[in-house]
Structure 1
């Protein structure tokens, strides 16, 4: 059977700018990405059915028997069992959410999923779904997903022992270190949720960490950092200052003092020293946030919303982000005062105004940044970034 994670087109749009450069299932939520959760529960490889401009990098692997699964859903055992009971020509649905369908043929693009499901026998699902439908869902669900991922990632395994005599642990049975992880003179408090420290991660002196918290391979918590819980730091990141209920997907840095709250950073982002985000309005009102679907600011229904930043974007030192700011892909922000609450992709500047960030220069910078990690910007990556540039700035 071929397992294919499909993108609902409306949800994909609601999760821009993060989904400008990835399918929904490559969003990091909890300790791992949604796709990695499905890999574990299905015990088989997965491929992707996504937007055309992403499909060359994230391929579809069709066979004679294809099980298509909604990539915005986080799996649990009840859901996986129900999906596994589908016969060819059947689908599973919960309310207006198409969960999965099993078909013996391929589709041309993700828009055909709904049509294909209409030709199947529909079975209702009455269980609880964990679904990412809007940007704020990512940080709102993060704490519970860290707990869920921690359970299956550590089941039957033994944590690397903490030998540093100056590291203080609370509820140590809920603290797990992978091989090569290091801690020195820090405080790890897992009373409110587990703490997962990935392979070769480094928790430096004076750091204070409250669970639920997860940090990926080769990432660093800088000296004296304060991690207030419900935080995920992906692989190859550096995090410092004060952070609360935020996610860094991977290869991104906030290495210095400053506050980051209820925020999401994609990959290859960098926040300069003393960058701060507001996550609460002075009047304690509901936060409005830029919607790429509506092309306007829309109510989030939430009181706490910070910064969302797409891949390859950067902020200079002392940048101040207003409540609910959305920054697109490959933007470069600097200068005093608050930049606009929506910074389009491939723009350069700040509160004094924004100019177009030339595509050739942006690609050169992205290449140099990847080379620091001994990686290359692939032709597929260049095509995706080029698509986003022209989708933002018409030819």
Structure 2
């Protein structure tokens, strides 16, 4: 298990805390083990697909990142497992609700739970998150009620939560634009002298957007305290990664002058450790980091997509064996960290969550039909007034009809 990263500017080390020293050493080690573009990329991995902890003593490069989860307890591991299980259950309920006609669309995170929960639990309360439209696990970590995520997909609101309450921005549908928002916000954080950090989530397909490249450049030039967290689920809808880029995704950071690192996106411990490392860099004034969480989208891109049309069953089956939830469960069982009673209790909790999600969605009130014409122009507009009148007449034509 080796680590790859691009070279970064020389760190400005703080008062010499153990974590700061570990982070600086991690970057130095990562840069020293960087490989040519044609070399096989390797992952930061702390938990194998079989659920075994990687022996940091045999892998000094991994040991530097393992330092960031050295204080993890059995209770913490059970908490991470609970997060992933409940997030998956919520996601499954949302998919089912869409199939039943209760939601217009749904973007599933199935298979990406470890990347989202690991990175989400690395954040402090004062950090700020800019998500795409699939970060249901990160929203869970930030304390956003999962039912609030569904209003937009049901068409009853434009978001469903106050971004300032949980420092979790509204979902972004425009591909890649949130990286620019995150960079600008991080520039403001730096100007204010705060020691908080910003994280921007996006996918492998979004990494080809010009907005993302511009965000990388601004973040590098202004040394912004932002972590670019790319969930590489290997399919930009029907386009595989190998048709999107000629080099491993994390190496794109090299051209902008900041570190890039690839982590096993199905390993919740590794995602937690690497994100803590990257956030630590940002808080110490060392600028941005690109984290590529190498994972897999087990389901469809959205419920309007059919992945059987463009990818092989053998590929999906191979990744099912790397399931992030089964991986941590195997570790908990083998280490004695959890017993069957724990899993049974969690199953009951997930059933309760599923029932609540169904009830809340089906009881959501419809929005005011005419509200679509409000707040279009500050001073009103004759054309909007005409359209409003036409639509009102159209609705009235159904009143009293069969």
TM over 0.5: no
> TM-score, normalised on structure 2?
0.23
Based on CA coordinates, which of the two structures has the bigger radius of gyration?
2
Q: Which protein has the bigger helix share?
A: 2
> TM-score, normalised on structure 1?
0.23
